[in-house]
Structure 1
């Protein structure tokens, strides 16, 4: 059975490191042993996390064992991505392909080459094994509200789960995730970065009828907004903070009715608060920071976190360095988790990395033709200073998606009980998913 990652390798490395800590160099040399080798990128990222955390041998061993035994759910993230094929892109560019065609081609390759390319498939599965993640709540719908745009990513990841189902299956219930763990598989649970709207505005019922359609396609969570204002409410990038619209209140009620988790990760403060006070079912900020630890447009205030917790929901702390602040490393991630757990309860925090592993495989020697400047996408409203500043390379490496086992080790170091750690790394999201299930 698939154990999630090569535990023997890491425990052997720990044993060679003595009782105090495992050095980065010691880990790197030992990590190449065993039948299921980790690659050099995964190895280097793991070494960075170990060097920052400096866990004792006991904490490292216990954290890795606990991680391997637990159901681990990334409350919002991206499955491993393939390298783009430059030869294909170059041919498209030379034929006069427009921006949208090139974007679609790039997404197709990054998201689905694991199906058709055996080398990419090995890399894809290797990343899953290293992370030891049971389920990713997968971004399967492009930012926006157009159903046709939202369908494209959903189709890509459905294609992956159709063809790699013995390794990565589709999950639509909490029980599906538990079953995948028992079977030694991983799984994807789909979310979209917007509520699908017909945009004909005849009446509110018609406007929201695709919510149920997307539910039937397997979507179990939806963003109310991205960074901009939309008909539902204000995004976090807007200078104003208008909250949910009248239509937005109807949309929240429809998501509750349909069995789709309400997600305010990218919503403005008042929109987030309004949604939490209105939602009749547990809702989430699936990938965000904690404003009390590091103020940022993508962080949630204590008032919002409490309102989300009052629904029975959770905040998934992300792994984006700029949002975390501090040293922008794995320690900063744990600080954000600590704040929510200590102030609002361990039942109301998870980890939503908002990151992905990207294949190390080379794109080939085909040079890409030069492209002129491109206009900023409509959805990409990021006020000055809200992006960039990624921090030191080692700090960023410590937050790598494949370092999920080290997040668990860090929680062990901070003296959380095993039961509480299991809640944070997976069981809390299972509870929210189950509570939203209309069946």
Structure 2
């Protein structure tokens, strides 16, 4: 087996001279380590599963963020977003759906998301990846399996929303050509494709959105409906000839917010062969049983969705990063906190204990599954097997 190496982002450039220097949050030790009372046998089993199985995060932003979130907007505008290679190397993940920074274009100009900003970010990230022998940009499932065999990491280029394509369906072809293999239809606010989950009205998928769904099916690009409105989700599931992904969400039956999906959407997704990735960004997958957001809250959504959808349709899309995620929500005003006053009693947190960053996520997820008596076969399914089944079908 090849032992892959890693280094910092943009190793061919001089930081502070050829691109701006920022103090970045640490990849390790930013918050206390999650505490486990594992027996030696349980710990060995967790480590074995993390080492031997294909482990896929359906949704993360595995970037380093500024230590001081007041630097966030100039950092994003610099077009030199650093990837947390050292932390990712220690995570045990085989593949991560890396969602770039397409959702943050709204802070770079008054016009919101722009095609030029997306291409700039995508091009810079691809250039950086090309200089890392640890990283493979996955264009098919063979790339993911090869990364597993070689001890590397497969990056699946992903976008949270299709907003930047505007009304040009051929831009989907261009993104596919650049290596993008998964794309969300809408990011909370409506766009030309359909309604987002933050809107007061729900118009569902537009005629243009229908064309885009068909084009993504024809190309073999996975469709994500995480931030779409309920009707847009159902329209896309009905129309798509391929299974869809809900890469990062939870169950509204556990926590009644618009960011969570209702049972109707979850069951429709499962019936068409799709997979849900359980979300863990701060103040999303809270539960009444665990109103202080933590690994336990997230796993309340997991067990509910397993019972509802079947274990073969559930996975994990933690939606984490290296830095202060709560601070990021406030800095970008992404709407996560906008309706907290209407929620059931809960306790705000500074971070989600046990699922704070991409390095710790899957050790803790597997540890929870081990301590709750899930079999190796069941764990294999939810940490990567279910996702690989969908990718094999959609990517071909």
TM-score tier by shorter-chain length is: 0.7 to 0.9
TM-score for the superposition, normalised by structure 2: 0.80
- Counterpart CA distance in 1 for 2:366 and 2:280 is 14
1:133, distance to aligned residue in structure 2 (A): 1.0
Is the contact made by 2:163 and 2:192 (CA closer than 8 Å) also made in structure 1? no
2:95 matched to 1:130? Answer: no
**Counterpart for residue 75 of structure 1:** 58
Kept in 2: contact 1:3–1:68 (CA 8 A):
no
1:333 alignment partner in structure 2: 298
Find the structure with the greater CA-based Rg: 1
Candidates 374, 378, 390, aligned match of 1:416: 374
Structure 2 counterpart of 1:32: none
Q: Is there any run of 5+ residues in structure 1 with no aligned partner, and where?
A: 5-37, 90-98, 115-123, 202-206, 360-374
Farther off after superposition, 325-334 or 395-404: 395-404
SS in 2 for 1:257: helix
- What is the CA deviation profile of residues 338-377 of structure 1, one whole-angstrom value per residue up to 9, with x for unaligned ones? 1122221111111111111249xxxxxxxxxxxxxxx997
d(CA) in 1 for partners of 2:87, 2:40: 24
Q: How do residues 401-412 of structure 1 correspond to structure 2 at under 5 angstroms?
A: 401=357, 402-403=359-360, 404-412=362-370
**2:128: which partner in 1?**
160
**Partner-residue secondary structure (3-state), 2:283:** helix
2:243 maps to which of 263, 282, 306 = 282
Which residue pairs with 1:385 in the alignment?
A: 339
Deviation at 1:198? Answer: 5.2
> What CA deviation, in whole Å up to 9, does each residue of 1:364-422 have, x standing for no partner?
xxxxxxxxxxx997x945572259977445x7232122222111111112222111111
Partner of residue 385 from structure 2, selected from 427, 434, 438 = 427
Distance 1:101 1:332 in 2: 34
SS at the partner of 1:421?
Answer: helix
Q: TM-score, structure 1 length as denominator?
A: 0.73
For 2:309, the equivalent position in structure 1 comes to 344
Secondary structure (helix, strand or coil) at the match of 2:44 reads: helix
Task: Determine if the alignment matches structure 1 residue 436 to structure 2 residue 394.
Answer: yes
Give yes or no for contact 2:355–2:364 (8 Å, CA) kept in 1: no
CA RMSD between the two structures: 3.0
**Does 2:255 align with 1:294?**
yes
Higher helix share: 1
How many aligned residue pairs are there? Answer: 352
Residue 397 in 1 paired to residue 331 in 2? no
Q: Which moved more, 1:139-148 or 1:236-245?
A: 139-148
Q: Which residue of 2 aligns with 1:195?
A: 162
Rounded Cα–Cα distance in structure 2 between residues aligned with 1:358 and 1:159: 23
Taking structure 1 as reference, are residues 302 and 162 closer, same or farther at Cα in structure 2, changes over 3 Å only?
A: same
